Every structure is written in C-alpha cells, then in structure tokens.
Structure 1
Amino acid sequence: MSEEQIEFTLASSAERLLPLTPAGTFNPGMAIFPIREDGPVRGVPDTLHDVHLLHDFVDSHQYFFQSLHAGDISAKLYNRISTHIDSTVLTRQWVDVILTVAVGRNQSGQLMLVPDTDNDEDLADEEPRILLPDKVVLGSRSFSGRSVEANVKVDYFEAGIRGQRSIPVRFFLPEGAKAHQLDWYIQVHPVGSWTVRGQEYPVALGFRTLFRFGRYEFFYVDVNLDGRFDPDPTGLESYSIGMPFNIGGTGWRIEELRVDGSSLRLAAVDSTVLPRLALRAGNAAPEFTGVTLAGDSLGLENLRGRFVLLHFWAPWCVYSQREFAYLRGAHEEFGEDGGLAIVGVVEAEQLADVHRAIREHRLLWPHIYQAREDPIPSAYRVVGFPTTYLIDPDRTIVAQGSAVRGDSLLVTLRMHLTSRAP
C-alpha cells in the first residue's frame, strides 16, 4: 500500500482560503445558548453610541465542555451538540476561548469596532478601529460590507497544556446587516504541497466555520491550480478528514493527522473510490432512495416530472427552525399541484424529537430519518444544517445554498417553476 507524508506550516491564508460562509454566530438571537465571558467586560468607550458588546467562541469544543461542567448548559443540550467532541483532550477548567468586541458609532457617525486584543475583558486600553468598505468573494458569490482586521489573543488547551496565542482575525459586517450580526474568521491555516503522479498541488487544512487549532476537519487540495482553495464541500477541492477521496486517478485516505496540524499521512486505497462530481447548479443530482417516516420508499425515481426541494435539517438546530416558515410558504404556494415536491432528510438522536418538531411546526411533507454519515446526507456532502438543494425534473441541480434559504427561497422557486409552466 502506497503512503505519502505531507508537512504543513502555519501561514497566512487571507488570499488563498476564504470562509465558506459568514460564521454569523455573533448574533445572540442565532446562538443555541447565550455565549458569556467568565467575568464582566469593562472599559467600553464612552465616545461611542449605539454600542453592541459581542462574544463568540474560538474553540467550540472546549467552550461546550467547560460550560457543561460550569452548569451553564444542560447535559441534554450538550449531548445534542457533542457528537464530534473528544472530551479526553479537553479540561473542565475555564479556558478563555471567547472572542470579545464592541461595535458602535463615533461622534461622526462612523461605524467603529473595538476588539479585546489582549483578552483581558477590558476595552479601556484598546484602540477603536474604523470598519471600512470591503467585499468578500466566495466562489461565484460576493458580499459587500465593511471590514477591519486585528490580531487578538485567545487561550487554548492542547495536549494537557494551557497557553495563549495571537491569531489574525478579519471582522466583516455584511451590507444591510445590523451591528450585532458582525461576522468574523481566522486568516491563518496550515498549508503545504503534495505531489501526485508528477503534479504538485497546494494543500491546506481547515474547519467548518469556527477556527480550532488542532481540530481540523477538512483537507483542501487546489485541484485546478488557480492559487486559491475552494472550501465549499459541494465542490472539488474540500475533503472531509476520515473520508476516502480521489486525486490524480487514485483513491486516498488520511491515516494519521497530527493534533497540531503540522503533518498528515495518506495511504492509497481501493481504486473504486471515484473522482468527485461537483454538487453545483447545472450538474446532475445524486440519485437517492430512502424510507419516509410513514414507511414509504421515496427517491428521485418516484418524483420524475417534478421539481424536488431536498432539505436536510435537525430539530435542535436553530438555523433549521428559522427556515420552517419559508418552507411552509413554498409548500402552500407550489405543493404537489404546483409541481414541487419537498423532501426532508432529518438527523436527531431521538425519533420522538423529529415527530414533535414536524407536528409543532406543521412540516407537512415527507421526511426521511438519516444521520450525516448515512447514504443520502453523505451523497449530498451535508456538513451542517440546514442544507438545501433544488433539483429540476431532469434531475439537475438548479439552485442551492443561500438561493434556497430565507426570503430567497420563494424568489428562486417562482423563477424556475414559472418558467416551466405550460
């Protein structure tokens, strides 16, 4: 069995690896539970007005674990969100993995940000920074807004050692968003190179949305050699750690990844691992078949001639819950007679939670009960909730992501279904 070793160095990724989506978790209304500092934050500048004091965790695993043992969250809630948490590498002691900023306006009306760069819960010694006009480009999409960069210190706990490190952070406020909807992301990743059949590829390690040193979840390969990594798991350059993938006509699996992200070891595996197809608009939708909660077999084959809105969700996920009203609107307007079939694929620890959510939120369409590692979510590379695809009667993906979420859902459906109407 052929093996390869890749060495990584921690380097700036500002121009090479942009965030998949804005994290959005600064918004207290979107958090599963309140994020708090260990003590009160002092020194908020009195020269600013309309001030919002915002907190978010840099290390979600350590935050969840210590919050459980501090009594800030219940065991029931922790069990819902702890599927991928390895508690053996965490500590019950409070580790300040919280990022804190204040956002407000100065006397001239300029939008200002005050980051707690030294992580001491005191903003009196911090310099307010102007949020300047900016644009974030994510593949074919772009988001206008305002941004500013800062190096901030955060605590960490790794390999039994507690310490503090400085990390470069970019803060971004999308156009039209409220101050408390500020987004942020880290601009440093482990990067390296990998040669396959004589072709050298830039590679990197990454994560879902929140940065965590040593808990990397994705292996990025710059397959098209354009100098940038596409972190979208529906594309061709992002591969989940632990799942086999095909590069250069060979199947590979990551056998070992050092906890600090300094190196990994890959092994060539069964050649039946096929090259990935992009799950993007214009490409074929993967076939699927599952059993609904009513006991019926359901798949694309059953739904020929209809548009299919394939919606992956979880009853505990607040982001999923925010989509229910829009989905009900789509079902009421288009439903079976309007040419649209909505199919829910739901993950939960207890089936009773699924039935309760369906009943309480009136989700009156078929649902299939499968976890992310099961066939349908795996085929559609679901890494978070909600994930939604619109598939046309020819079994082609016509929309995904933000185009089929929130207010955009009905706009997208009207555009596609109306154009197909006889």
Structure 2
Amino acid sequence: MAKKWIALGGLAILIGIALYSFASQNADTVESLNNDQLGTDLIDNPGSSLKKGQVAPDFTLTTLNGDSVSLSDYKGKKVILNFWATWCPPCKAEMPHMQNFYEAYGEDVEILAVNLTDKDNGIDKIQQFITDYELTFTVPLDESGEVGTIYQAITIPTSYILTTEGTIQHKIVGPMDERMMEQLIQSTP
C-alpha cells in the first residue's frame, strides 16, 4: 500500500513540474509578445529564408471538399497561417482557441490552418479531427509537404501572422491561445 502512495506521489510531482513548465513557458511567451518581440527573433535570423516584412510566399492548395485555396486570395485581411497535424498534442490544444478566436474575429481575420497531410495519418483522420473540433475556418491540405517546407514548419504547430498587405509580421512556434492571437493581431498592421 505504501509503495502505491509513493508512486502516486511521484506521479503527482511529475505532473506538477510539467504544468509549471508549461505555465512558465506560456508566461514567457506572453511577456515577449507584450514587448513586441514574439516572432521577430524566429524570423530574422541568418539561417532563415523568411524575414519579417517580406511578402509571404503564395501557394495554392485544396481543401477536403475540393475547393482550391490560394494565400493571395486573402490580401486585404490579416491572416493567421497555421501548420498542424492531427497527431500533434499541442495542435489539439490550440484548435479550440483558434475556433473561438475565428468565431469572434472572423470578419476581420482569416485563419488558414494548413494540414501537413504528407506527415499526417490519412484523410479520414483529418476529416474526423475537423468534425470533432467543429472547425469552421479554412483547412487546406499540404499533400506534398512543399508548403510546410517553404514555411519552415518543422516543429508544429507553427503559425505566421500576416498583415493586410500579405507580409510576415510574426512567426510563432508552439501553440497559441485566444489572448495571444488577439495581442498578435492587434500589433499587426
């Protein structure tokens, strides 16, 4: 019986450490955001081909229902360009926040949640994910992986915040919540 309690106590400590680490990381991200530095360092580094202020590379992909979607179609609107997969736990955590944000701001901000289909578990899983999370924003499929490569979506989720002119303002590696999205969009021309 004592061994069981020791094991449970150890598990509780590990969970506490994980939650503390996540909360600390999120607080650091929000502080960086408040200083308008979130994303800048990730884009403006010598090894990166994408730069803050650069026009985001255009692409055309297809959705699950066969519609063709081009990034350039959204010029004139701010865009959250997100890269994700169904098996990714941080992506699963982020999607409800994206949906809530889209419901609140969808008239002014477009969300393009590009599924990295070449790295995912099949079309059926993607469709089930969209249904389960009741996603109403556009989900283009990157079946070849080319767009994810261009946008350096190595760690997912990876998101870019684009201005109304279609230029890159921020790059975020990791999940966002609604508050972060609001702050990022407010700081984006």
Structure 1 and Structure 2 fold alike (TM over 0.5): yes
In the alignment, the residues of structure 2 paired with residue 377 and residue 281 of structure 1 have an alpha-carbon distance, to the nearest angstrom, of 18
Instruction: Report what 2:94 is aligned to.
Output: 323
Instruction: Report what 2:133 is aligned to.
Output: 361
Question: How much identity, in percent, do the aligned residues show?
Answer: 21
Deviations 1:205-225 (A, max 9, x none): xxxxxxxxxxxxxxxxxxxxx
8 Å contact kept, 2:94–2:175: no
8 Å contact kept, 2:156–2:173: no
Task: Mark the CA change 1:52 to 1:378 in structure 2 (over 3 Å): closer, same or farther.
Answer: same
Matched, 1:288 2:87: no
In the alignment, the residues of structure 1 paired with residue 89 and residue 125 of structure 2 have an alpha-carbon distance, to the nearest angstrom, of 14
8 Å contact kept, 1:390–1:404: no
Deviations 1:101-135 (A, max 9, x none): x97xxxxxxxxxxxxxxxxxxxxxxxxxxxxxxxx
Matched, 1:178 2:20: yes
In the alignment, the residues of structure 2 paired with residue 403 and residue 53 of structure 1 have an alpha-carbon distance, to the nearest angstrom, of 21
Report 1:232-251 matches (<5 A).
Answer: 235-237=45-47
Segments ≥4 residues shifted beyond 2 Å: 179-183, 231-237, 279-284
1:332 is aligned, of 89, 93, 103, to 103
Bigger Rg, which one: 1
Q: Please state how far the C-alpha of 1:182 moved relative to its aligned partner.
A: 8.2
Greater share of helix: 2
SS of the aligned residue for 2:110 comes to strand
8 Å contact kept, 1:293–1:366: no
1:307 is aligned, of 71, 78, 100, to 78
- Consecutive unaligned residues of structure 1, counting only runs of 5 or more, are 1-39, 45-50, 55-101, 104-172, 184-230, 238-275
Across the aligned residues of Structure 1 and Structure 2, the Cα RMSD in angstroms comes to 3.4
Instruction: Report what 1:391 is aligned to.
Output: 162
8 Å contact kept, 1:292–1:366: yes
**Relative CO higher for 1 or 2, CA cutoff 8 Å, sep ≥ 6?**
2
8 Å contact kept, 2:58–2:71: yes
Task: Mark the CA change 1:381 to 1:180 in structure 2 (over 3 Å): closer, same or farther.
Answer: closer
Task: Mark the CA change 1:179 to 1:299 in structure 2 (over 3 Å): closer, same or farther.
Answer: closer
8 Å contact kept, 1:404–1:412: no
Q: Please state how far the C-alpha of 1:388 moved relative to its aligned partner.
A: 0.6
Deviations 1:11-42 (A, max 9, x none): xxxxxxxxxxxxxxxxxxxxxxxxxxxxx9xx
Q: Please state how far the C-alpha of 1:288 moved relative to its aligned partner.
A: 1.3
In the alignment, the residues of structure 2 paired with residue 405 and residue 181 of structure 1 have an alpha-carbon distance, to the nearest angstrom, of 13
2:180 is aligned, of 394, 405, 408, to 408
Task: Mark the CA change 1:394 to 1:232 in structure 2 (over 3 Å): closer, same or farther.
Answer: closer
Instruction: Report what 1:344 is aligned to.
Output: 113
Q: TM-score, normalised by structure 2?
A: 0.71
Report 1:179-194 matches (<5 A).
Answer: none
* Length, aligned pairs only: 163
8 Å contact kept, 1:233–1:381: no
SS of the aligned residue for 1:309 comes to strand
In the alignment, the residues of structure 1 paired with residue 110 and residue 45 of structure 2 have an alpha-carbon distance, to the nearest angstrom, of 25
Deviations 1:73-122 (A, max 9, x none): xxxxxxxxxxxxxxxxxxxxxxxxxxxxx97xxxxxxxxxxxxxxxxxxx
Q: Please state how far the C-alpha of 1:301 moved relative to its aligned partner.
A: 2.2
Q: Please state how far the C-alpha of 1:402 moved relative to its aligned partner.
A: 5.8
SS of the aligned residue for 1:311 comes to strand
Q: Please state how far the C-alpha of 1:334 moved relative to its aligned partner.
A: 1.5
- Consecutive unaligned residues of structure 2, counting only runs of 5 or more, are 26-40
Task: Mark the CA change 1:181 to 1:390 in structure 2 (over 3 Å): closer, same or farther.
Answer: closer
Task: Mark the CA change 1:412 to 1:394 in structure 2 (over 3 Å): closer, same or farther.
Answer: same
